[in-house]
Amino acid sequence: MRSVTASDLATVHRIELDSYTDPWPRSIFQLMRGRAPDLFLVAEAEDAIIGYVIGEIEWREGVRVGHVMNIAIGENWRRKGLANGLLDELERRFAERRVECSYLEVRASNTPAQSLYRKRGYTEVGRLSGYYRDEDGLAMEKPLL
């Protein structure tokens, strides 16, 4: 795992397009690389990018929190532990920066992702009505410190 570079963005965006029904535009990836490049990580295998995770540190009620903004793994590499590895490294980087908790949003219908997050210690803290264009989301959170 390593931080993303500008030359990685086309491949990262292809993974995004293949992974989501409502994908982020490429410009958002460029923006996130500029805002927190050390929290935008890629996983590689066979000299190719096969997944990514994007995080950001925010303030909530005077507390530093880590936001897992986006994560995706290339179709041929799913269910091999790569998402766990990316989240491990992102959460480690959050904790290094004294972030108290990590949170994320997930589609209410995405039970495989919810299961992964629960196994990692995330708990549901709220339902986000209309969060996605076509369905609700769930807010999940995990203490880090």
Instruction: State the architecture of 2-143 in CATH terms.
Output: 3-Layer(aba) Sandwich (3.40)
Residue 54, Ramachandran bin (φ over 0: left; ψ between -120 and 50: alpha; else beta)? beta
The model's pTM is: 0.93
> Which residue type, as a one-letter code, is found at position 119?
K
| 107: nearest Cα among 141, 142, 140 | 140
Each residue of 39-73: pLDDT tens digit? 999 999 988 999 999 999 999 999 999 999 999 99
Domain assignments of the chain as residue spans, ordered by start: 2-143
Q: What average pLDDT does range 11-30 have in this prediction? A: 94
Contact 55, 32 (CB under 8 A): no
